[in-house]
Amino acid sequence: MRGGPGLTAWDWIGHDGGMSNLADKKLERPRKGRLVAGVAAGIAQYFDVDATLVRLGFAIAACFGGIGILTYLAGWLLIPEEGETGSILERLASKTGSQP
């Protein structure tokens, strides 16, 4: 590895593998930058990658028995929208659970 004998791989990527900023982030579906429901855009923001790559991953996964479509729908139900306190599934569960 370049950089001298005193440097290790941890010095280049950080002692936590570059994951320390994930604890400060919140996974949510943004209102801007979405094409459908914002699942891919939210995942891309959270992991700091291009949304096109996430969308491409969903499209490729959709070719394998529809798992990409099912995963996207699960993300839509489980990931809260920007500014909301809970996901769609949490809101539906709280509405049905509060009725006698």
Query: Does pTM top 0.85 for this prediction?
Result: no
User: Of the given ranges (12-26, 42-56, 73-87), which has the lowest mean pLDDT?
Assistant: 12-26
DSSP 9: H
Could you tell me if 58 and 64 are in contact, meaning their C-beta atoms sit under 8 angstroms apart? no
Which pLDDT tens digit goes with each residue over 58-78? 999 999 989 999 999 999 999
Q: According to the model, what pLDDT value does residue 40 have?
A: 95
For the cut 70, the answer to whether the pLDDT of residue 13 exceeds it is no
CA distance 100 to 78: 25
The mean of the pLDDT values for the chain is 82
Q: List the domain boundaries for the chain.
A: 52-100
Token look-up 């801007």 returns 32
Q: How far is residue 72's CA from residue 68's CA, in Å, rounded to a whole number? A: 6
Non-local (6+) Cβ contacts of 8 within 8 A are: 1
